[in-house]
Chain A
Amino acid sequence: MANSFLNRNVSETQIRLKDRLWLYVISFIVLFLLIVPSLVVIPMSFSASQYLEFPPKEWSFRWYENYFFSWKVENGFNDWMSATWTSVKVAILTIIVATPIGTMAAYGLVNGSSRLSKILFPIFISPMMVPIILVAIGLFYFFVQFKLVGSVFGLVLGHSLVAMPLVLIIVFSALKNYDMNQEKVARSLGATRFRAFREITLPQIKFSIVSASLIAFLTSFDEIIISLFVAGGDNSTITRSMFLALRDQIDPTIAAISTILIIVSSGLLILVQLLGNKDKST
């Protein structure tokens, strides 16, 4: 019985399962190594010890308390709650800036001449291509002139810059799969272009736009390097504070924050996956 299972053909070239077991073993090990190591922060975050021992000998919520009751306890970067608040604020504002700009550009590129899109597309995804450290110091230098360093506005501009290409790519591919003639029909019946977009196109690509904006949120929330240079003073972001703390000492509060971040990003990812399939099915 087990033998016939092992002798089963598993590919077009008639490889038997037992001859390919090594491939399965390697793949499972790699998948395991991809997923599991990050999860180690979850038990760590409930440890009672301030040393990072694993498995923890005693359990407690002290690192969560440390995180949630950290409003202005110490000056500098251990003010986790206000850093989180800055991050949330900046991420939401990034959605508001990056999503319409990216969507508009995607609409223009899909409908415009192919020459236009050939020239502009590489320029538009350049924020993903230029080394981010260069963008960061460039923005720092630029923002110093306009006194935008340490401001929420500066952070939103920087984060929008890295989020826009993702919005563009997602909405662009949604519009590519969409039949633009539907808009033409609406307009031949007397609708303006904007009304045709709002009433015909938008409802059909709305899930892609929502998932693009969730990804914009996540991108902003996870962004470190631009924040490292552009944020400062009272407006540190959570990832910037974590990075600075990690470089100097190992504070288990970071395990608690990491656990929360894993939950938030997995939740958003699941949402994006569910929404991504929704436009296609309609």
Chain B
Amino acid sequence: MSLTTNNINQNELRKLAAREGYTFFGLTVPYLIMVTALIAIPVGWLFYLSFIGRDGTFSFENYERMWKSKAYIKIFITTFKISILTTIICAAIGYPLAYFMSQLSRKWANICMIGVLIPFWTSLLVRTYAWLVLLQKKGLLNNIAIDMGLISEPIKFVHNTTGTLIGMVHIMLPFLILPLYANMRAIDKDCMKAASSLGATPSRAFWTVFLPLSLPGLLAGLLIVFVLCLGFYVTPAILGGGKVIMAAMKISSNIELYFSWGAASALGVVLLVVTGIILFIASKLVSIDQLGSR
């Protein structure tokens, strides 16, 4: 008698646990619907469109064009060149700053952190506009350089690769510093003490102990910056002045100017695949939470 009661109880509990599970899943359903309706279906549709040729039948012409047309190859080269350069420059100037901040007391580090976060939250457009003002022919930078006698003629900083790079580095730098700083903060300071008590010079302790320990954060930052650069649109469109054409801009002009959905979709699919591969590698190397921290 008591055995059956137990069984009934167990069944009840199991049912309740299952119902709990459904409730939790149910709570995520609206989110799931949004993502499915607004990303999965539209992007899936673009994927389909990328295989439709100009005559309306199935074809690979949109993809073939990419390696046959010089214009497209140039766009790929520009996109990768700008993305790689931006990533390298960000690492070169972001690493010292993150290291400096990680050595400060919490209080001072938080104050410096505000310096990193303010630009992070300032509108992208505002920052791009500010660089346009600073770098243009009669801008502040040229004026100062001329007043100091460094140059006689104003240098063209904007509407070219230089301007695009300056603007993009400024916008991407916080994305590199945030994961890198979090990683450096977590490094046990005793490791450095141990290294120096074992006779390492400060620079040797840095190169053999600190740097390897900070690599996961650096890698996370580099990958985020690189992926964001690949799909970047606003800053190159304004600071590049139409001379620096990156993949995202070509996608946009394919649609706005030529209404050529197939070509735009194919380029978008390539961009998505490249991004996906990089993020997949990244997720194997660092935890996905770190990538998601904005």
Binding site for B on A (CB under 8 A): 10-15, 19, 23-24, 26-27, 30-31, 33-35, 37-41, 44, 51-54, 101-102, 104-105, 107-109, 111-113, 116, 120-135, 137-142, 157-158, 160-161, 164-166, 168-169, 193, 218, 221-222, 224-225, 228-229, 239, 242-243, 246-247, 250, 254-255, 258, 261-262, 265-266, 268-269, 273
Whether the pair B100, A104 counts as a contact (CB closer than 8 A) is no
Whether the pair B139, A54 counts as a contact (CB closer than 8 A) is yes
Kindly report which residue of chain B lies nearest to residue A139, judged by CB atoms: B42
Closest 5 CB pairs of A and B: A138-B42, A131-B231, A108-B27, A112-B24, A27-B100
Whether the pair A130, B43 counts as a contact (CB closer than 8 A) is yes
Whether the pair B234, A225 counts as a contact (CB closer than 8 A) is yes
Q: Which of B6-14, B63-71, B122-130 contacts A (4 or more CB under 8 A)?
A: B122-130
Q: In the complex, A271→B233 CA distance in Å?
A: 30
B contact residues around A27 at 8 Å (CB): 96-97, 100-101, 112
Contact among B94, B114, B189, B255 for A140, CB-based, below 8 A: B255
Whether the pair B275, A142 counts as a contact (CB closer than 8 A) is no
A contact residues around B103 at 8 Å (CB): 10-11
Whether the pair A11, B192 counts as a contact (CB closer than 8 A) is yes
B contact residues around A254 at 8 Å (CB): 129
Whether the pair B38, A44 counts as a contact (CB closer than 8 A) is no
Whether the pair A12, B231 counts as a contact (CB closer than 8 A) is no
Whether the pair A268, B121 counts as a contact (CB closer than 8 A) is yes
A23-B99, A120-B28, A164-B31 are known contacts. Are A37 and B131 too (CB-CB below 8 A)?
Answer: yes
Number of contacting residues on B, CB 8 A? 94
30 contacts between A and B (CB under 8 A): A11-B192, A35-B115, A38-B118, A38-B130, A52-B133, A53-B138, A105-B28, A107-B27, A108-B25, A109-B24, A109-B28, A122-B283, A124-B28, A128-B292, A129-B275, A130-B43, A132-B231, A133-B251, A134-B231, A137-B268, A140-B255, A141-B42, A141-B46, A222-B124, A242-B125, A246-B238, A247-B238, A258-B129, A261-B122, A261-B126
B contact residues around A112 at 8 Å (CB): 21, 24-25, 28
Q: In the complex, A269→B114 CA distance in Å?
A: 9
A contact residues around B129 at 8 Å (CB): 41, 242, 246, 254-255, 258
Q: Give min CB distance, A2 to chain B, whole Å.
A: 21
Highest count of chain A CB atoms <10 Å: which of B43, B200, B206:
B43
Highest count of chain B CB atoms <10 Å: which of A23, A30, A225, A242:
A30
Whether the pair A108, B46 counts as a contact (CB closer than 8 A) is no
Whether the pair B288, A122 counts as a contact (CB closer than 8 A) is yes
Q: Is B56 an interface residue (CB 8 A)?
A: no
Contact among B202, B261, B272, B279 for A11, CB-based, below 8 A: B202
Whether the pair B97, A239 counts as a contact (CB closer than 8 A) is no
Kindly report which residue of chain B lies nearest to residue A31, judged by CB atoms: B115
Contact among B26, B27, B46, B201 for A138, CB-based, below 8 A: B46
Whether the pair B93, A26 counts as a contact (CB closer than 8 A) is yes
Q: In the complex, A123→B258 CA distance in Å?
A: 32
Mark B255-294 against chain A: 1 for CB-CB distance below 8 A, else 0.
Answer: 1000001001100100110011001000100001000111
Within 8 A of A (CB), among B83-116: 93-94, 96-97, 99-101, 103, 112, 114-116
A contact residues around B39 at 8 Å (CB): 126-127, 130, 135, 138, 161
Whether the pair A157, B251 counts as a contact (CB closer than 8 A) is no
Q: Is B75 an interface residue (CB 8 A)?
A: no
Q: Give min CB distance, A173 to chain B, whole Å.
A: 8
B contact residues around A128 at 8 Å (CB): 292, 294
Whether the pair A133, B133 counts as a contact (CB closer than 8 A) is no
Q: Is B173 an interface residue (CB 8 A)?
A: yes
Q: Give min CB distance, B249 to chain A, whole Å.
A: 9
Q: Give min CB distance, B262 to chain A, whole Å.
A: 12
Q: In the complex, A129→B275 CA distance in Å?
A: 8
Q: In the complex, A269→B173 CA distance in Å?
A: 18
Q: In the complex, A126→B279 CA distance in Å?
A: 11
Whether the pair B196, A104 counts as a contact (CB closer than 8 A) is no
Contact among A12, A41, A107, A134 for B126, CB-based, below 8 A: A41
Whether the pair A168, B43 counts as a contact (CB closer than 8 A) is no
Q: Give min CB distance, B79 to chain A, whole Å.
A: 11
B contact residues around A225 at 8 Å (CB): 233-234
Q: Give min CB distance, B90 to chain A, whole Å.
A: 10
Q: Is B160 an interface residue (CB 8 A)?
A: no
A37-B170, A135-B43, A262-B126 are known contacts. Are A13 and B27 too (CB-CB below 8 A)?
Answer: no
